[in-house]
Structure 1
Amino acid sequence: MIETNCSLKPFNSFAIEAKTEQLFYLKTRKQFPELLNHIKIAEQNKRPILILGAGSNILFCENFAGLIIKVELSGIEIIESKNNYQLHIGAGENWHQLVANCIEKGIDGLENLALIPGVVGAAPVQNIGAYGSEFKDFCESVEYIDLESGELHRLTTEQCLFGYRDSIFKTVVLGNCLITQVTLNLTKQWHPKSRYGALNDLKDKTAKQIYQSVCQIRSEKLPDPDKLGNAGSFFKNPVVNQEVANALLARYPTMPNYPQNDGRIKLAAGWLIEQANLKGRQIGGAVVHQQQALVIVNQGDATASDIVQLAALVRDTVKQKFNIELEHEVRFIGAQGETNLSEVLKRV
């Protein structure tokens, strides 16, 4: 099914009004030939192509001048063995609902990633993570269709080149693949990951209790996008070398910091933004959230320009105060495809 001149407001959690020339709903594998034909026509007409999941990590900066593919592939198959559970999941399945269903079935491991918005197919792109867990920790493989050849490929975890909020899907194969399915492997030899924040205070650290605690923490900290438009964490947590971290800790002894396996230190972007006195800062209808400084919200009438300018203010203010430049985690989409804050500012 394809629509023309379609509003994208229902398909982005910022609830920003934008339009696309064409919108294709991919619901089943039987549609692959039809999809590839539409892609071929778009390419012949030199029109950009964008793959869209739930739109929970997207900022449409302007109308999109091409074809958007809305991925709605469904289906979950669980294969149980003596030591683990193997899950084959359609890319259009809701991520949080998957986590909730697993906890309900006694399949543990994903609890730290509860209430992360979006669909399963987007999880490997960003290598989503929270509270000490990342998607890559459970990934066995990712299947995708090559949009040029129409062939299906399956990448192992190692081949996905996962990094902090990064993967091969944001670099090498960007724009040429559409994730169709992911396979997760969850061991029955479960061990809690609970050293982050309030999770460390739990008495009985069962998967279900960690799940419930994560849901409570995220619900209290993060605004519901159905009530207040937002895309969750707007900026990545910066990772710096030990020398930079030590200099900052000398000035701010209580600064949250998390040693990484490579010897570097991860800092809390939300803390940096809050210390820069940016909570509640507003441009137009866009506001830095009062409860969680890492979130920029649409109060109901924000334009993409409002959000862009506020993001720039946050980035520049943190840079001035701490000499650390924040990178946006939210994907910026312009008329011709993915762009970034610096490029968009040139046109605002």
Structure 2
Amino acid sequence: MTAVHLPDASDVPKGRLPRRVPVRQILCLLPLLLVAVVAVQHRAVLADGFAHLGTAEWPWLLAAVCATCLTWVAAACTRQGAVVEGLPKLRLLATQFAAGAANHLLPTGLGASAVNLRFMTVCGLPLARSSAALALYLLAETIGRLTLLAALLIAFPEALRLGTLIPEGAMGPLLLGAAALVLVAAVTLVVVRRLRATVISFLRTALGEARSVHTRPSRALALWGGSLAFPALQATVLVTVGQALGLPVPPLHMAVAYLAATVAVALVPTPGGIGSVEAALVVALVAAGGPAAVATAVVLAFRIITVWLPLLPGALTLGALVRWKVI
């Protein structure tokens, strides 16, 4: 009878795993797992939101879905405008769709930033320039959102009752907190030499990238046009959902409420703003003159259309892009 030798741990060469860990396959499935976890955690919100969608006027909801789709086009335009080199258009658009899902699964901004940073480096841009382009995009998007809000508030100063948004006596502590953060950051840069050198090097790269982009009118137009179109389209989604559910607030006042709410929660580190955005939007719509019950229904339906419906296909797209090594 012939003895059969079974390999043991001593037969495996040192420094080498017996089987290769399927990292890329795991990364492909991770977004779907996160979608399932988030959906289970917010199942009550999903049920209420879908219930309200069933009572809405469908032509307005269709317009809201179309405006939501256009937000990914606006994001792609802004991303392209932040770099001089031409990026592959279809892959860029698919990346924005996938980045939207990643943004709702990770703390605000981190998911989309990580996906787009990886996409640009795969396209051949050095990491320093990709990071500079990412910073330029975030700056342009912030300026575009604040510009729209300021313009609408100047045109319609009665759109929001700010006293209901900011509790009495809260402005002083908020300003003191912001000043303290700026002071701590400045002291840290002065004291830590290595950090100061890194920041200065990054700022030089970012300023050089910004100058290069603005020497090409097509890139500058894509950057600033997209940064204005993106929040305008998001506000349009809220307006159309409000019309679908009969919210008695003028459309432009709803747009002001949306912009004010999203600016207010920009620093809240929750995945995709889940929870904080809903609360801020309800408060803003009530401050704009809407009944609390209808405002809550509008916000739930709005988040279903902009967050939950695209989440699963966005996660599938993200997994496919990882598998095909696009990101």
Query: Under a length normalisation based on structure 1, what TM-score does the superposition of the two structures give?
Result: 0.23
Greater strand content = 1
**Greater C-alpha radius of gyration:** 2
Q: State the structure with bigger RCO (CA 8 A, min sep 6), 1 or 2.
A: 2
Query: Under a length normalisation based on structure 2, what TM-score does the superposition of the two structures give?
Result: 0.24
